[in-house]
Amino acid sequence: MLWVLLPPSEGKTSGGDGPGWHPDSGAFTELAGPRVRVANALRRSKGGTKKALGADGDLLRRAKAANLAVVGGPTLPAWLRFSGVVWEALSPSDLTTRARRRAEAGVIVVSAVAGLSAWSDPVPDFRLKLSAALPPIGRLGAFWKEPITRALNDRLEGATVVDLLPNEHRAAWIPDPGRYDLVRPLLATRDGKPAGHAGKATKGRLARAILESGDVERTLATFDPGELALTVE
């Protein structure tokens, strides 16, 4: 079994024609409790502050409205909801049939609202980072660490796991590599600096290549990261 862990994106497709989102939606129903607490915290904070959401003006107003409408709000499957750089480079809509089947079976997205979402899970529109803090639950990365760790480690048992999460999302769980084969590709500039925006696009291309081939070791050995350096932790 192959699992690929991906981040969400700040860029999202708005709206949706899927069923209204509820905390027990999707493949990770065991996360309903913490999802309720996040949704309640968003309501208490009126959708979130400028500082928490990293937004201003019209973007802040749209973000607050989306956050207040999370529960019961219209949904899209995760692969359609997220539209940022990683997901644009992954280009889910034109994956081969075999790659799409691998994605549907094995992609997990780590986010601040749902905690974990599978590829086709219904996802509402939202704007919220794991690095943000919401009263009374505090910083979301710390809040989610225990439930995400438990759910992920149980789900990944006995598999090959490719962790393509950024540091913010990696910090929200504690891996147990004794239970699975954990592979963590790292992208950097040739002089060792963080890859930045170019790294996001390359990460999306790498995720696509892994899903297309199904062979993690061969893909990592042959993948062309362009001007970046690819190493494996």
- 14-42 tens-digit pLDDT: 999 999 999 999 999 999 999 999 999 99
Instruction: Please give the span between the terminal C-alpha atoms of the chain, in angstroms, as a whole number.
Output: 20
pLDDT in tens, 143-175: 999 999 999 999 999 999 999 999 999 999 999
More confident residue, 12 or 194: 12
What's the average model confidence in pLDDT over 47-55? 92
Q: Is the pLDDT of residue 220 over 90?
A: yes
What is the pLDDT confidence band of residue 198, given thresholds at 50, 70 and 90?
A: confident
Q: How far apart are CA 30 and CA 147, in angstroms?
A: 9
pLDDT at position 68, please? 97
| Residue range of the domain that includes 134 | 2-232
Single-letter amino acid code for the residue at 221: A
Query: For 19-48, b where at least 16 C-beta lie within 10 A, e where not — what string?
Result: eebbbebbebeebeebbeebbebbeebebb
- Residue whose C-alpha is closest to residue 22's, from 113, 105, 106: 113
pTM over 0.95? The answer is yes
pLDDT in tens, 65-116: 999 999 999 999 999 999 999 999 999 999 999 999 999 999 999 999 999 9
Alpha helices in 9-108 (DSSP H): 32-44, 50-53, 57-68, 78-81, 85-90, 97-106
Tokens 């699992």, located at residue: 3
* Domain total in the chain: 1
pLDDT at position 196, please? 80
The answer to whether the CB of 97 falls within 8 A of the CB of 105 is: no
pLDDT at position 197, please? 81
Q: Residues 6 or more apart from 206 whose CB is under 8 A from it?
A: 164, 185, 219, 223, 225, 230
What's the average model confidence in pLDDT over 193-205? 90
Q: Is the pLDDT of residue 233 over 90?
A: no
pLDDT in tens, 119-129: 999 999 999 99
* Percentage of the chain lying above the pLDDT 90 cut: 94
Q: Which residues pair with 228 in a beta bridge?
A: 189
What's the average model confidence in pLDDT over 3-12? 96
pLDDT at position 194, please? 83
Output the six-digit token pair for 124: 């509402």
